[in-house]
Amino acid sequence: MRVVTAWETALGPADHLALSALLRAAFPGPEFAPDRSWPASWARKQARIWLAGDGGTPVAHLGLDRRLVGTPAGEVLVAGIGDVAVAPGHQGTGLGAELMRALDAALRDGPFAADFGFVQCREAVAGFYARTGWTRVTNPTRHVGVRDGRTVVEGQEPTLVRPGRRSLAEWPDGLIDLRGLPW
C-alpha cells in the first residue's frame, strides 16, 4: 500500500470522487455525496491521509484537523481525527492499523504534527482504536453540536488520544473544549 498525505486544498475533483466512493461505502447515509468527500455536519478537515491500493484506488482513509483546544491546564494542540474508513471489502485485514501507523509519522514530524491525536467515536468502534495505539480517556468534552451547527453541547463521549509531540503522561485532566464542531 502507498501512503498518501495531502492538504485538503491540494485535492482535485478526481481525488474527491475516489475518496467519496470509499467513504460512502463505509458510511452509508447522507453525510457524503458523490462529489463531496467531506461530511456535511462535522468539522471540515485540513488534511487527509489515505492508503492507495492497486491502480491508486484509496482503500483506507482518515481526515485530520489541527486545532488549539481549551483545557484546565491551558491550550493544547490536537490533531482531531475523523472520517476513518476502510473499504468494506478490505475490512478486517489490518489496513485500519496500517493507517494509524501512517498517522503516527504525521503527528510527530512535518506540517501535520501536533501534541496529541484526538478521536471520538461510537462505542462499537472504540475497541478498534484501543487495539491500534489509542488510549481511552475520561475527559468530558464541550463542542458545537452537529445537529444544528450552533448549540453548544457538553458530554462524556468515547474519547481516545495518542501521543504526537508530547507524551501521554502530559494529557490533561478535566473538560476539553473543542471550540467548534467535533471531528
Q: Which of 77, 97, 105, 146 binds ligand COA (CB under 6 A)?
A: 97
Does the protein bind ligand COA through residue 26 (CB under 6 A)?
yes
Q: How far is the CB of 73 from ligand COA (least distance, A)?
A: 26
Supply the minimum distance, in Å, between the C-beta of residue 72 and ligand COA. Answer: 26
Residue from 132, 160, 161, 162 touching ligand COA (CB under 6 A): that is 132
Select from 110, 163, 157 the least CA-distant residue to 135: 163
With contacts defined by CB under 6 A, name the span among 10-18, 64-72, 94-102, 107-115 that binds ligand COA: 94-102
Q: Shortest distance, CB of residue 42 to ligand COA, whole angstroms?
A: 11
Cell of 13: 475533483
Number of residues this chain uses to bind ligand COA (CB under 6 A): 19
CB 99 within 8 A of CB 138: no
Query: Of the two residues 84 and 106, which places its CB atom closer to ligand COA in the complex?
Result: 84
Contacts of the segment 143-150: beta carbons below 8 A, 24+ positions apart: 143/177, 143/178, 143/179, 143/180, 143/181, 143/182, 144/178, 144/180, 144/181, 144/182, 146/41, 146/42, 146/181, 146/182, 147/41, 149/41, 149/181
d(CA 158, CA 40): 22
Task: Evaluate whether 21 touches 13 at the Cβ level (below 8 Å).
Answer: no
17 binds ligand COA (CB under 6 A): no
Among 30, 56, 94, 111, indicate the residue that binds ligand COA (CB under 6 A).
94
Which chain residues interact with ligand COA by CB under 6 A? Answer: 26-27, 84-86, 91-97, 121, 124-125, 127-128, 131-132
